Structure 1
């Protein structure tokens, strides 16, 4: 398969043509426009309906999850979802069932999977025929043979090659979310949305998606999804035209990567302006005034994450450059860098929050106007900088911490309040002090703050709906990074409104010190998002940044929310 890159913007109108040389004759030329790949299957149908699946090998059937004597009597018309898809290996090899089209490319297939002790579970991408495909294969921790393995496989001409392997078997009888993605030669496996294996391969490039069952016992599959997925992996041994746009300096690609010599600034840019919320990384070695990754290249607010080698005083820095202006340093930290051995540089952006990592050094900054865009390799005054092993990946969005149906009337079944109420994730400080964790039915709700029941480590977002702006005076507060009883500690965001004014007033305090204020015009109602991003606190109103600042905090504390208005005590 021959793949090419076009520098045109997504959605732009382009022409396609061909040219024959040396007397070559080309016939039956066809153009196939491609739309987004989107397929899902929850197998909620009659057992004799195969849906879009085409078994290629082995035995495949819809089957109830029940294992008792009544399992065979399950009826799809009388149950929400009694069936999963059950696959068993064939006499001559693994069982494989397929969906999709031969021209599918740059996609990710995922499924809920469950196996027994001797089950071997897998997913397939880029399927050509029984002797040519890419797959992930997973064995049980306690299997009699080949136990405790997660493997990325390439099967070419019937010969199997292990591209990557980890000791991480599944537990028998346990459900997992297994996913496999292929894009631009990059093969990635996820388990429960966490990336576990990566490998590069130039095989195939397109093909159908499938499920695989290869053990002595079969495996269950459910809730299958296939969707567009994009990733970039490039060893930089060849700067492919169209994929890379070179500007300034001399870029000489070789077996170890691309070597750059430049008296001033030089860039090699790839990707699309539509890229959002990604992680870019590259191996860098050699000497230069600065060398690194330029995020949002070509956009209005490009951000450079770069190492600045200065012998033993090397530093990792984040810089930005307004249109027509000079580079401005946002943050820098000392780092360990050897021009000879180099280091692995990683830069990420998520809704304006930029992180850089090199060795053990970590640096953070917030740039409100940056959400993504193209990526460039960047050097300034380089004599022998070498870039290699470049990659871009797009992490899946984090799932919400709590997502349940809201039952608001629990007066008859108060035992359901703990998990089914809209208050299920919160406990009032008054109840907490008394050791009451189950919300009993009350005539009047307690006053005071409501605390999240769990501790949240790392980055998180607390979204607060605010209604009736301009119709009354009110103040609602959200406290981050604190604990019950720590009054005056943590980071507090006070959201206020005044009668007759369609304006939200926000005040941010760290402990007893006010660290910032902002306001935003709204119409009636708005959503205020209070975000902890590394060492930064970011406040958004209807997804627009109104305040962002570095506010250090204790790690992994709770969140509190309270309302001081006529709805006091509701636990917003």
Structure 2
């Protein structure tokens, strides 16, 4: 009888491990892994020596190694025992699935090259596990578990070049190229000439620096080989007759994916290409060239074998490819004239997508009967009291964005799925859109609105800081929107939902983490210290004062809005009062109109009970008002008041203390609130306007501190030339220290004009600061003046 072998790998951060082949008596090497009974496999795993990772335990990691089968059929790795994820490698196939004791449930299988030696990469990002073999993505699945502490490997094969890399930090990178050309750069230049172009007085310029590239197939890259599951944005502007773009999943100068975009006069095409071994293969293309001299915003979402590319928020490509398996990010240019890049921002992006074609099985049935057939996903339930049907991606997230399409039946989507008895859902039910919550099997109706259009229905469910919004769009008509509040502390998975009978879904759905809206900038930091410019650039430039010491924001908010007061430095006395208001009609002497959230510090009462563990806590009386009428009230005890906020989401109004919602109410008649203003007031203490953050997706605030990607130069002469030259330049010829976003006529006429690329609906309000640029060659100050 031969001796089988169990492989034990010494794992250390960034180090290659030694290989130990340990004989295990009594095991027949000819009994290959797929033929083992569950009892035999459990015995092999139980006997396998285990090497703890210790302090390197991680739930975000890359485990890479090379396996040489040497004629044997199978090698298997288990991430946890007795329950976890397993990876199996054969000569010509690889698979992964779930392991419980000695029982395996295969979820993913893919063909690989028919050779003995394979390079294997197991990548884990939280609940998501991905298998990459020989540089090609084999598949992925979701499995929520704690941090790995040990791996078990069986199969009697040689395993070498082992590296275990905990991923301690997410993919985060930003570069506005605000540096002198001689300063160091995080970018590695592969080809072409790359240099930073800047103005003479960068500290007094709106946007003084950018990166330029010249040359044939110029390429520069940044990042790590393990970069994956990220969102990258970059501003880009090209010249006539050239090509420009971005590179991703770059694992060498001849191994990457390329988005290549040609000018309208040089091919007029946008292409997605794959570079392998120096050869370029087309993946997809569309006839759409760029306009020279116009800044564009490119957004790339990469992860889990999939890439989506947007231009100015419009989806251009959405592809699934096994070769998209992680790598560096890069910028690309091709031509003899300068191509400009600016404002590179890269951050983590976790999402799972089901499209019926990819080898990634991040979703699985939790309850009900699910099958994909004839181009649709079908769910069916037994007669009551059957559990709701759930087909979910298992995660431990606390916020979710879920998208799916219901073709027929009482179908919907769910988030915060702990089990079939506990979840939050948006469903199409009996001709209505319904927001609901199941807790311990008991259903609570959160909101409901009738649907007056036939299916199919596109559904979107999004949660953010204990508020939930749902949108249902039919084949025609306006979307139906709902909102409500949720309990604090929910977590779990997300996916498809059906409550009864049968429901059909389009086989294309997605779950992810919603984007956070950035607060509007207050003042203009570049010019606020200049005495002559403080009126429009200082912290008070976005506010004005009115009756009773109240402050009013100059912005005009037509949709959801949030106002936050940062109070960590505030000295709030007893009976000190803070009032935050939104949807207000103006400073007309009715301070409580719209929605108002008040926070009042109560006097300390020695006789009042306090938390014994926190005897120094203060009490705060909180109230929410609608048009002067009190809608909700509560008193809370806090050791410190760091922040207070009022927020609207659809017809839901919420008051927050220290980032936690403490008061909420729904206002079905919210459409009757006519105001568009935001305001605040402090009594008994002061809060500087710089400490007030206003967040609203409906408002655009342009300070031109970044490339003007939301603006395009108007076209003249039937679209053949641009109307003027627009760039950051000095205003005064006699003193070149200050530079602003400037438009001047070019050789094609007197008009200099830019359009905003966004589409706006009524009501709309525009406020801007502008001045005449000095041009002595056109005469004195009155002669070079022009219309604005």
Quickly name the TM-score band, shorter chain normalised: 0.7 to 0.9
The CA distance in 2 between the partners of 1:505 and 1:77, in whole Å, is 45
In the aligned structure 1, how far is the partner of 2:680 from the partner of 2:516? 24
Question: Would the aligned equivalents of 1:237 and 1:253 in 2 still touch at CA under 8 Å?
Answer: no
1:475 to 563, 577, 580: 577
1:15 and 2:157 matched: no
Question: What is the alpha-carbon distance in structure 1 between the residues aligned to residue 502 and residue 152 of structure 2?
Answer: 40
CA distance in 2, matches of 1:562, 1:110: 38
- CA deviations over 1:225-258 (Å, ceiling 9, x no partner): 43332222211358966x3342333222346243
- Identify if the C-alpha distance between structure 1 residues 537 and 16 changes in structure 2 by more than 3 Å, giving closer, same or farther: farther
Q: Is the 8 A contact 2:472 2:481 kept in 1?
A: yes
Which secondary structure does the structure 2 equivalent of 1:51 belong to? coil
Aligned equivalents of 2:634 and 2:381: distance in 1? 44
- Preserved CA contact (<8 Å) 2:584 2:594: yes
Paired with 2:583 and 2:404, the residues of 1 have a C-alpha distance of 34
Matched residue SS, 2:559: coil
Q: Secondary structure at the match of 1:13?
A: coil
Query: Matches of 1:81 and 1:543 in 2, distance apart?
Result: 33
Provide the rounded CA distance (Å) in 1 between the counterparts of 2:503 and 2:203.
Answer: 69
Counterpart for residue 165 of structure 2: 33
Q: Mind listing any 5+ residue stretches in structure 1 that lack a counterpart?
A: 67-73, 431-446
What residue number does 1:444 align with?
A: none
**Mapping of residues 135-154 of structure 1, within 5 Å:** 135-138=258-261, 143-146=264-267
The answer to whether structure 1 residue 498 and structure 2 residue 602 are counterparts is yes
Q: 1:550 aligns with which of 642, 655, 666?
A: 666
> For each residue in 1:508-555, what CA deviation from the matched residue of structure 2 results, as whole angstroms up to 9, or x when unmatched?
222132222222222353311111111111100001111011131546
C-alpha separation in 1, matches of 2:259 and 2:635 = 51
CA contact (8 A) 2:470 2:481 kept: yes
**Other-structure match for 1:277:** 399
Q: Is the 8 A contact 1:469 1:499 kept in 2?
A: no
Does the CA-based 8 Å contact 1:429-1:484 persist in structure 2?
A: no
Aligned pair partner of 2:305 in 166, 185, 188: 185
- Name the structure 2 match of 1:229: 349
Q: Specify which of 621, 641, 644 is matched with residue 525 of structure 1.
A: 641
SS class of match (1:37): coil
| Counterpart Cα distance in 1 of 2:209 and 2:628 | 57
CA distance in 1, matches of 2:574, 2:528: 27
Q: Give, in whole Å, the separation in 1 of the partners of 2:207 and 2:472.
A: 48
Cα offset, 1:318, TM superposition: 1.0
1:455 and 2:556 matched: yes
Asked if 1:355 is matched to 2:469, the reply is yes
User: Post-superposition shift, 1:464?
Assistant: 1.9
Q: Report the equivalent of 1:304.
A: 425
Report deviation, 1:30.
Answer: 2.2
Is the 8 Å Cα contact of residues 475 and 494 (structure 1) preserved in structure 2?
yes
Matched, 1:318 2:435: yes
Note the C-alpha offset of 1:557. 0.5
Query: Is the 1:53–1:98 contact (alpha carbons within 8 Å) kept by the matching residues of 2?
Result: yes
1:388-430 CA distance string (max 9 Å, x none): 10112434321211245779998x9364143123x22211236
* Residue 413 in structure 1 maps to residue 531 in structure 2: yes
Q: 1:524 to 1:535 in 2, by over 3 A?
A: same
8 Å CA contact 1:111, 1:224 repeated in 2 = yes
Q: Which whole-Å CA distance do the structure 2 matches of 1:172 and 1:404 have between them?
A: 29
Paired residues in the alignment total: 522
2:48 corresponds to? none
Moved more, 244-253 or 353-362: 244-253
The residue that corresponds to 2:542 in the other structure is: 425
Alpha-carbon contact 2:204-2:526 (below 8 Å) kept: no
Q: CA deviation at 1:387?
A: 4.5
Q: Distance in 2 between matches of 1:351 and 1:477?
A: 21
Give the Cα–Cα distance (whole angstroms) in 2 for the partners of residues 84 and 409 of structure 1: 23
Residues 100-141 of structure 1: CA deviation (Å, up to 9, x unaligned)? 34343222333343434445432211124566533444566x
- 1:28 Cα offset (Å): 2.4
Equivalent residue, structure 1, for 2:181: 47
1:56 pairs with 2:155: no
Q: Over residues 196-215 of structure 1, what are the superposed CA-to-partner deviations in whole Å (9 max), with x where a residue is unaligned? A: 44513124122221111134
**How far apart, in 2, do the equivalents of 1:173 and 1:386 lie?**
41
SS of the residue aligned with 1:515?
strand
DSSP 3-state at the match of 1:416: helix
